[in-house]
Amino acid sequence: MDVTDAAFRLTDVGCGLGGRTILSEVALDIRRSHVLALVGPNGAGKSTLLGVLTGDVRSSSGEVLLADRPLDSWGPRVLSRTRAVLLQDNAVTFSSTARQVVEIGRAPWIGVADAEADERAIDEAMRSADVIPLASRSFPALSGGERAHSSLARVLAQDTDILLLDEPTAALDLRHQEEIMRLARRLARGGRAVVVVLHDLSLVGASADEVAVFDGGTLRAHGAPDEVLDAELTESVYGTPVRVVTDPGAGKPIVLPRREG
């Protein structure tokens, strides 16, 4: 892989928390212009790996390079202008409007960008995430789908080349899941590296360019969805019988539980 294509390069990365090994010898390249889905059962290490990528969790072994530089050599302000993070919990306890929540994404650019650049970035982010009609509404009063879109707009307003999204479709209905992942694909096609933690393997098959399958803190497989999401590996990782079929229209893998009766 050409260095210019690699947003992150991980070599033999390990991580231990509370005396327990969470990640072990993870080697993974994360490319720009791609959506990479991190999948695996609960406790597999997906969110910990995302924390390592954000710089919030320190690896205990191995090397993490961001743009061919050690991640721990990046200052926090510059790092915040390079990668943006969407965590699972998007709760806002105070009565901010949706636009005010999106404006928070411009915090890393204070003193760097002028007010006009901030306004352009906020407006573009809100257009991309389709939340302009929500601008003056109270964020806590929005529906789950509306909060998810507004929180994603906040991440987009940060104007970074790398997006790290932890379960952005959790608790969303089918329409909002599809909208979030379509936007993720558009962003990747525009040159960004997009890393997303997902549980719905069929959504992964339809939306991701690459899949990294984790099990017990180890990387079991990495590749295109139609190469990685086979029944044998999925059953081994998740401990439940499945069948994998191909969507006749899109040619994408669909993972279904195999039930009796």
Q: In this predicted model, what pLDDT tens digit does every residue of 154-195 receive, in sequence order?
A: 999 999 999 999 999 987 889 889 999 999 999 999 999 999
**Residue range 112-137, pLDDT digits in tens:** 888 899 999 999 999 999 999 999 99
What pLDDT, on a 0 to 100 scale, did the predictor assign at position 190? 94
* pLDDT score for 90: 61
Residues (pLDDT < 50) of the chain are 1-3
What does the pLDDT read at residue 93? 57
What is the three-state SS of the chain? CCHHHEEEEEEEEEEEECCEEEEEEEEEEEECCEEEEEECCCCCCHHHHHHHHHCCCCCCEEEEEECCEEHHHCCHHHHHCCEEEECCCCCCCCCCEHHHHHHHHHHHHCCCCCHHHHHHHHHHHHHHCCCHHHCCCEHHHCCHHHHHHHHHHHHHHCCCCEEEEECCCCCCCHHHHHHHHHHHHHHHHCCCEEEEECCCHHHHHHHCCEEEEEECCEEEEEECHHHHCCHHHHHHHHCCCEEEEECCCCCCEEEEECCCC
